[in-house]
Amino acid sequence: MSRWIGRALLAVGMMWLTGCAGKAADSFTLEVDLPAGFAVVGDASYAPASGEVCKLPRRNGRRPELKIFKAASKPVANRVSFEVPFTEQVNGCPLVLRRLVFAINASWGQRWSDIGRDYAVIYFHDSWEPGMPLMPDTGVQELPGRCQWLFRTAGPKHAILKILWCKSLDAAGKLKRARPGGHVHRDGLSGKTLRMVLAFTEEEEPAVADNWVKVAGGWKRCRGKSEEDLFAFCRGNVVDFKAFKMPDGRLCNVYPTCN
């Protein structure tokens, strides 16, 4: 009897291990490295697998083919982690993961409106294509990106506003034109980790070209055609400037050091 029980327990253990291995192979771990004060809200979008003839019905409101991931901001840089399945089934229709879209949110001031947002997108492909990163032996594939604030003026008082600007980085750490994220091979991720690393640079730059002139201590706002000119392009005039309003209400001549 004891021998029979031992064999039964061994069989159950093997089934459990097989089940775990199957589960791991049908998902991957998504990690996001966030700078201090940054939050993300993302959705994983699923669509019918290649060769499937079924279609998702049109619907208003609830969309079961989406999975939502959220991570609140923290005062220090941190790493968040999600388990993302490769497949789903909705109304009997087999679905596969097609893309992950993340809204990256951060605050640049104390007012409720002092917020910025940019996006990161990861596309998942059925087969490997040239240019796609290969999974390292470590089992962790990184997708590097970098964010910074861009500043501009708006309104008759030329008030300072900021825009969150995030881009991906190449292997040499240089900025690319694309958003953070990229294109990856789905099968190469089975049971492994995909890590989106968002760095942050404190250096701010103008959001609009030919609006500002670099000076000692920061930037001066070009005057344009008049004090009332909201667009105020420099047009080669780098000696006539105008004041602008800082978020705290001060009127200044040099951003961000004021005077």
Domain co-membership, 71 together with 120: yes
Least confident stretch, 35-39, 44-48, 191-195, 213-217: 44-48
Q: 188: which DSSP letter?
A: G
Phi, psi (degrees; rounded to nearest 5) at 119: -130, 155
User: pTM for the complete prediction?
Assistant: 0.84
Domain co-membership, 42 together with 71: yes
How confident is residue 65, by pLDDT bands cut at 50, 70 and 90?
A: low
- In this structure, is residue 220 part of a structural domain? yes
Examine the pLDDT at 3 and tell me if it is beyond 90.
no
Domain co-membership, 138 together with 37: yes
Least confident stretch, 64-68, 94-98, 172-176, 246-250: 64-68
Contact 192, 167 (CB under 8 A): no
Contact 80, 34 (CB under 8 A): yes
**Number of domains forming the structure of the chain:** 2
- Measure the CA–CA gap between 87 and 63, rounded to whole angstroms: 15
How confident is residue 15, by pLDDT bands cut at 50, 70 and 90?
A: very low
Domain co-membership, 121 together with 143: yes
Domain co-membership, 91 together with 186: yes
Contact 24, 190 (CB under 8 A): yes
Domain co-membership, 70 together with 196: yes
Which domain covers residue 47, as residue numbers? 25-148+165-200
How confident is residue 245, by pLDDT bands cut at 50, 70 and 90?
A: very high
- In this structure, is residue 63 part of a structural domain? yes
Examine the pLDDT at 17 and tell me if it is beyond 90.
no
Contact 191, 25 (CB under 8 A): yes
What are the b/e assignments for 33-42, b being 16+ CB within 10 Å? bbbeebbbeb
Average pLDDT, the chain: 87
Domain co-membership, 187 together with 219: no
Contact 118, 147 (CB under 8 A): yes
